[in-house]
Amino acid sequence: MIVCKTKQELKQALASRNAQETIGFVPTMGALHEGHASLFKRARAENDVFVASVFVNPIQFNNPEDLKNYPRDFEADRKLLEENGCDIVFAPSVEEMYPEGEPLKSYSFGALETVMEGAQRPGHFKGVGVVVGLLFELVRPDRAYFGEKDFQQVAVIQDLVRQMGIKTRIVPCPIKRGEDGLALSSRNALLTPENRALAPKIHAALKKSSEMANRSCREVKEFVCGQIAAVPEMKLEYFEIARPDTLQTVPDEAPAQGNVGFIVVWMGKVRLIDNIRY
């Protein structure tokens, strides 16, 4: 596995490959776990060359404390990437990624970036668009793999590829969960043991609510909000039922079926995100 710290090293590593070979790419922020590994395995299996990036992107954090506390362990990341057959890992510094004085190419995602994560985390998707756009320009992947844990992000990235006019195919990958149902996340490591033990109740509530798919969104929302409110350690930021394509909310009286339930719950200082298809 070649580790590239600069754009120049990455360009050289990519140039040494046969131009006919397909490139599969997985962008990450590190603190890698089995959720990331499920994307790595697909990228490895479906392409000649598997490229990953590890970069904690400061401009997609709207909360400085979240950025400061974000877990980082490059040696462990390198090991997991190697175990998963990664050919090239790009792990630049912030200065390398965003040299001072160099203008950033920014994108707008319209209604996709004004709801849910976009509404709660102002500027988040702008930052995601800048970094993924830059990474796509550098790597020029044939396929890029994104987790459906960040469902809204997948829609934003699909729009990014349309705007950039590149041929990269976006491959959405299912949410990888722990045996107890909790969606794997780098932030799970920041939970206290007590909160970690309670956190699977988020998915449990969503799973139970999927049995009510033919009921109205209002009933499903009441159920999920009630389940979260019953756990004093949890604070619901939002639960919305929205269309999988436009991400716009569904009227309360319409059935949940065919839509997606999106949830964010705080436990202490940790923000947990999950979703479920109805």
Instruction: Provide the minimum distance between the beta carbon of 38 and ligand AMP in the complex, in angstroms, as a whole number.
Output: 6
Residue 33 appears among annotated catalytic residues: no
What single-letter DSSP state applies at residue 216? B
Strands (E), 130-259: 143-147, 169-173, 234-242
Could you count the other beta carbons within 10 Å of the beta carbon of residue 251? 9
Give the span between the Cα atoms of 41 and 38, in whole angstroms: 5
Angle in degrees, CA 143, 146, 147, rounded to 5? 145
Give the span between the Cα atoms of 34 and 176, in whole angstroms: 7
Candidates 32-40, 72-80, 119-127, 254-262; binding stretch for ligand AMP (CB under 6 A): 32-40
Residue 29 interacts with ligand AMP (CB under 6 A): yes or no: yes
Contact 130, 108 (CB under 8 A): no
Instruction: Provide the minimum distance between the beta carbon of 103 and ligand AMP in the complex, in angstroms, as a whole number.
Output: 24
Instruction: Provide the minimum distance between the beta carbon of 175 and ligand AMP in the complex, in angstroms, as a whole number.
Output: 5
**Per-residue binding letters, 124-163, with ligand AMP (x by CB under 6 A):** ----------------------xx-xx-------------
Residue 183 interacts with ligand AMP (CB under 6 A): yes or no: yes
Instruction: Provide the minimum distance between the beta carbon of 222 and ligand AMP in the complex, in angstroms, as a whole number.
Output: 27
Q: Rule CB under 6 A: choose which of 49, 175, 206, 220 binds ligand AMP.
A: 175
Q: Among residues 33, 36, 124, 203, which one is catalytic?
A: 36
Angle in degrees, CA 189, 41, 204, rounded to 5? 45
Could you count the other beta carbons within 10 Å of the beta carbon of residue 257? 15
Q: Rule CB under 6 A: choose which of 78, 176, 201, 203 binds ligand AMP.
A: 176
Residue 112 interacts with ligand AMP (CB under 6 A): yes or no: no
Could you count the other beta carbons within 10 Å of the beta carbon of residue 15? 8
Contact 73, 30 (CB under 8 A): yes
Q: Rule CB under 6 A: choose which of 2, 9, 38, 215 binds ligand AMP.
A: 38
Interface residues with ligand AMP (CB under 6 A) are 28-29, 35-36, 38-39, 146-147, 149-150, 173, 175-176, 183-186
**Residues marked as catalytic:** 36
